[in-house]
Amino acid sequence: MKKTKIRTRNICFQYHKKQILKNISVEFPKGEISAIAGPSGSGKSSFLIVLNRLWEEIDGVNVTGKVEIELNGQMQDIYSGRIDIRQLRRKVSIVFQQPNPLPMSIFKNVAFPLNLAGLKDRERISREVESALKKVHLWDEVKDRLKEDGRLLSGGQQQRLCLARTLVMRPEVLLLDEPTASLDARTAEAIEQLLIQLKSRCTIVMVTHYQDQIQRIADSHFEVVNGNLINR
């Protein structure tokens, strides 16, 4: 019997009273890659930000329903008052579809979550940054220019930078919004290999357009149809 990592009950998502998602009740197994497909504008990205309450930072969004995620070894209702939202977003962290490096150096970008968490030990920060950049196969390209502005990187490099920035938090759940969309075939394959390696530590929910990618790496496959999430 597979262990459930994420369970949603009757999730409804509205943008300015417009219903995007309705009554989504699904489960994602622990340590697997679940892929979500669907036409653009159907609400895939919206679904991801329900899982770490990020929608609460966006004006005009309203969400109802229940989400339970296994955190620190037990299922917890993430919308209950006991949840520390900063902690939640570090454990259940998202990489956006559009790369969003902050206007700061490459190094500071990757170190940013550690800085936010109050980590001061410079040596440890350097180690974590290096290991995260190596994981996403960006280290060799940027190791000599860590002080340069992160926004000067190419689109594919930026996307890997943002993935590294998320990995340095050691999330339990990784929400990926089209993670290989702006990568060339070889880097995309390297990232797919990374995701497969990450499965032992991380549960991955991934939005993707590519059927072949789903075939290659996804353990289960969902599709958004008319605001509902259907298991294929």
Ligand X SMILES: Nc1ncnc2c1ncn2[C@@H]1O[C@H](COP(=O)(O)OP(=O)(O)O)[C@@H](O)[C@H]1O
> Segment 10-29, which members bind ligand X (CB under 6 A)?
15-16, 20
Residue nearest to Mg ion (CB): 45
Which one of 42, 45, 187, 220 is in contact with Mg ion (CB under 5 A)?
Answer: 45
Cβ within 8 Å of residue 102, ≥6 positions away: 108, 109, 112, 150
| Tokens, residue 37 | 């497909």
Which one of 8, 34, 46, 208 is in contact with ligand X (CB under 6 A)?
Answer: 46
Decide if residue 76 touches other proteins (CB under 8 A): no
Neighbours of 19 (CB within 10 A): 12
Tell me the CA distances in angstroms from 82 to 11, 34, 39, 79, 87, one per residue in order.
20, 28, 36, 8, 11
* Minimum CB distance to other proteins, residue 107 (Å): 10
Which one of 17, 40, 120, 212 is in contact with ligand X (CB under 6 A)?
Answer: 40
Decide if residue 203 touches Mg ion (CB under 5 A): no
Pairing of strands 18-24, 61-71: unpaired
**Residues of the shown chain interacting with ligand X in the complex, contacts defined by CB under 6 A:** 15-16, 20, 38, 40-46
**Residues of the shown chain interacting with Mg ion in the complex, contacts defined by CB under 5 A:** 45
